[in-house]
Amino acid sequence: MIDSQLPIRVLVVDDHTLFRRGLIALLSQDNRFLVGCEAADMGEALRCVAKQLPDIILLDNHMPGVRGIDGIPSLKEAAPTARILMLTVSENEEDLVNALRAGADGYLLKTTESGHLTDSIVKVLTGESVVSPEMTSKLVAALRNLPQSVPPPPADDGGTDTAQLFNDLSAREREILRQIAQGVSNKVIGRNLDIAETTVKNHVQHILRKLSLTSRVQAAVFAVQNGLD
């Protein structure tokens, strides 16, 4: 459980001083987080990792020298247990795919609200994958064009085949899963189906449980790779 690991040790890597300091100030207001080090480039980031092994690394992409995405393998080697969450302005589909392929555990835009960011940090540490809602449709598009570009969700250990998994979903759950794969938010799904957003959230949780998945991102990948989009 995450509570037994508090505070969560965070490394912030971003070359924009004002943004980096603002982010650190934001996280410092939440007693779940401890920013033990900060870095403006990949060299500093690796030195920080050597001094204090972080639980999570918040990583910008466009930095001087080595880009964040290109530095992920080195960070993974230096801190094998650390999670890496991209926090960037880039809405480029290729950057998203390359980050996930390199081993990033999530991809958020810098326009993400503070509450969503802190919730996402906790989700990533519990093994979930997180992607900004604005990027989900781009992830889906990338999967359609490059079906092997992003690793699929873990296979079901029980040996249940895909057809059986889909048969376990109700008609309403299949419709919601289809819209998740199209990058539609819970609020819009509720509007489309004329049901409450809380009802949609409940359906999403049932879908994830039945498919043995942990996040909407995995559900979208699963749906696209199995032709339910």
**Strand-strand pairing, 33-39 and 56-59:** unpaired
Among 123, 142, 161, identify where a domain stops. Answer: 142
What's the confidence (pLDDT) of residue 146? 53
**123-128 average pLDDT score:** 83
Host domain of residue 45 = 2-142
- Phi, psi for residue 228 in degrees, rounded to 5: -105, 30
Please give the Cα distance from 164 to 168 (Å, whole number). Answer: 6
Residue 147 lies in a domain: no
Tokens of 38: 């900060």
Q: How confident is the model at residue 111 (pLDDT cuts 50, 70, 90)?
A: very high
Cis amide prior to 7 (ω within 30 degrees):
yes
Total of domains in the chain: 2
116, 77: one domain: yes
Q: How confident is the model at residue 166 (pLDDT cuts 50, 70, 90)?
A: confident
Among 142, 164, 195, identify where a domain stops. Answer: 142
Please give the Cα distance from 2 to 33 (Å, whole number). Answer: 11
173, 193: one domain: yes
Among 142, 163, 197, identify where a domain stops. Answer: 142
Residue 15 lies in a domain: yes
90, 158: one domain: no
Please give the Cα distance from 59 to 151 (Å, whole number). Answer: 21
- Phi, psi for residue 108 in degrees, rounded to 5: -120, 145
Task: Indicate the residue type of 145.
Answer: N
Task: Answer for the pair 75, 49: CB distance below 8 angstroms, yes or no.
Answer: yes
CATH code where residue 12 lies: 3.40.50.2300
CATH code where residue 210 lies: 1.10.10.10
For the question of whether the overall pTM of this predicted structure is more than 0.95, the answer is no
111, 202: one domain: no
Q: What confidence tens digit (pLDDT) does each residue in 139-155 have?
A: 777 766 654 444 444 44
